[in-house]
Amino acid sequence: MTLTRRGLGLGLLATGIGGTAGVAWLGPERIERFVTGAGPDPVRLWGFIGGEKMDFVRNPKVRDLLSRRHGLTLDARRAGSIEMVSDPALTGQHPQWVWPANSVMTQMARGNGLPVRRDEIVFNSPLVLYSWTPVVAALEKAGFVERHGAVHTVRMAALMDAILRGLSWRELGVPELYGRVVVTTTDPARSNSGFSFAALLANLFAGDVATTETLARDGERIRGVFARMGYKEASSGTHWNSYLTEGMGGKPLIAGYESQLVEFILADPARWAALKAAPVRPVLLYPTPTVASAHPIISLTAEADRLVEALIDPDLQELAWSEHGFRGRLGTVGRGGPALDELSPTPVNLMPMPDAPTMLAAVQRLKTPS
């Protein structure tokens, strides 16, 4: 019988750890990983994740890297960013990790008694607006939108003032739309894109990073913008899909993440080509100023600490941008990704998010009936 190098390694290891008892204690899979360097012990971790990242964690390349290089399999369950760190029905299930879409959620998690061990911002994606070519043309003519090459920016303070004054679509120059101009977003008490839009409004009206003091003064104006939206969806992903399926008539102007368009183009290039060729097509707009959605991974158990390290793996970071449109930890883009002229190479006029007490007060004000 020929003794292979692998067999020799296993035999030496077995001898070194105390013969048969040692082999039984380690188990054949752990011995093989030790000798061959195949990777760390496998572990399955479950937790809550924002819907905008579900396609990322389902990506076979991501799953393979997490498993092969880091020994991790994720059981990711969709939940709103605010809910996963504050709703007792979710926190009471004792997840091993949570991955919301805003760094403020780490403060909220600690404030709500979650056993935060480690937290690390993994991705960034600026809050943007999405509209349609006829609406953008009217906004540009009215002076609310400016064009810098193929990149569109929105003068947000002026647009929000006009919305609060009751500007109608007809007055704006889009008579085929009914009623008053409105930006729609998700429920700020449940979903991060709505939460981030509330933060942006608070900063806009404060003229700086909002505080509880400026919120006491500006709260009714913020509520006035949200009151015009009507029904608000609970998920950023659902809201994005509604924008694409309902078109200009149903969703003429929405707030979302930059990553949503990039991921859509990469996932369905044929549909994007058809949309681009249509007379009414989607347009990405950068609010000035805006806020960034920074996605922190938060470990709540010792086993999940490994996930924090895994998600800042450079290869996973590159996949996040090139296949899902998430900028890196410092807001930078990767090497790949779509050839989209409308995409700004750097985030435009970012403002910091208000702190957790200010945002909690803002959400509470928005939840309180008028």
The average pLDDT across 204-208 equals: 95
Q: Is the pLDDT of residue 303 over 80?
A: yes
3-state secondary structure of 285: strand
Q: Is the pLDDT of residue 24 over 50?
A: no
Q: Is the pLDDT of residue 294 over 90?
A: no
Q: How far apart are CA 81 and CA 196, in angstroms?
A: 11
Contact 149, 341 (CB under 8 A): yes
Q: Which of 262, 247, 253 is nearest to 285 (CA)?
A: 253
Position of tokens 């943007």? 128
Contact 93, 201 (CB under 8 A): no
Residues facing residue 282 across a β-bridge: 132
- Give 39's contacts (C-beta < 8 A, 6+ positions apart): 33, 68, 69, 70, 71
Q: Which of 305, 270, 265, 286 is nearest to 97 (CA)?
A: 305
On average, the pLDDT of the chain sits at 86
- Record: fold of 126-293+339-367: D-Maltodextrin-Binding Protein; domain 2 (3.40.190)
| Least confident residue range of 19-23, 65-69, 157-161 | 19-23
Confidence label for 301 from pLDDT (cuts 50, 70 and 90): very high
Contact 203, 19 (CB under 8 A): no
- Give 254's contacts (C-beta < 8 A, 6+ positions apart): 129, 130, 131, 183, 184, 185, 239, 240, 243
Count the neighbouring beta carbons within 10 Å of the beta carbon of residue 360. 18
pTM above 0.75, yes or no: yes
Contact 297, 307 (CB under 8 A): yes
Q: Is the pLDDT of residue 20 over 60?
A: no
Q: Is the pLDDT of residue 244 over 80?
A: yes
Enumerate the domain spans of the chain. Answer: 5-124+294-324, 126-293+339-367
The average pLDDT across 133-150 equals: 96
Pairing of strands 254-257, 282-288: unpaired
Confidence label for 266 from pLDDT (cuts 50, 70 and 90): confident
Q: What is the pLDDT of residue 39?
A: 64
Position of tokens 């913008």? 225
The average pLDDT across 270-285 equals: 91
The average pLDDT across 189-201 equals: 92
Confidence label for 18 from pLDDT (cuts 50, 70 and 90): very low
Q: How far apart are CA 102 and CA 83, in angstroms?
A: 12
DSSP assignment string, 217-269: HHHHHHHHHHHTT-S--S-HHHHHHHHHHHHHHH-SSEEEEHHHHHHHHHH-H
Q: Which CATH class is domain 5-124+294-324?
A: alpha beta
pLDDT > 90: percent of the chain: 60
Helical packing angle, 356-367 and 192-206, nearest 10°: 100
Q: Is the pLDDT of residue 212 over 90?
A: yes
Q: What is the pLDDT of residue 174?
A: 97
Helical packing angle, 156-164 and 192-206, nearest 10°: 90
Q: Is the pLDDT of residue 132 over 50?
A: yes
Count the neighbouring beta carbons within 10 Å of the beta carbon of residue 330. 8
The average pLDDT across 121-147 equals: 95
What tokens appear for 342 in the block? 């409308």
DSSP label at residue 180: B
> Of residues 289 and 15, which shows the higher confidence score?
289
Q: pLDDT digits over 27-85, tens only? A: 443 444 444 455 678 999 999 998 888 899 999 999 999 999 999 999 999 988 888 99
Q: How far apart are CA 75 and CA 134, in angstroms?
A: 43
- Give 195's contacts (C-beta < 8 A, 6+ positions apart): 81, 82, 102, 104, 188, 189, 359, 363
The average pLDDT across 327-332 equals: 70
Helical packing angle, 192-206 and 104-111, nearest 10°: 110
Confidence label for 340 from pLDDT (cuts 50, 70 and 90): confident
Are 5-124+294-324 and 126-293+339-367 in the same CATH fold?
Answer: yes
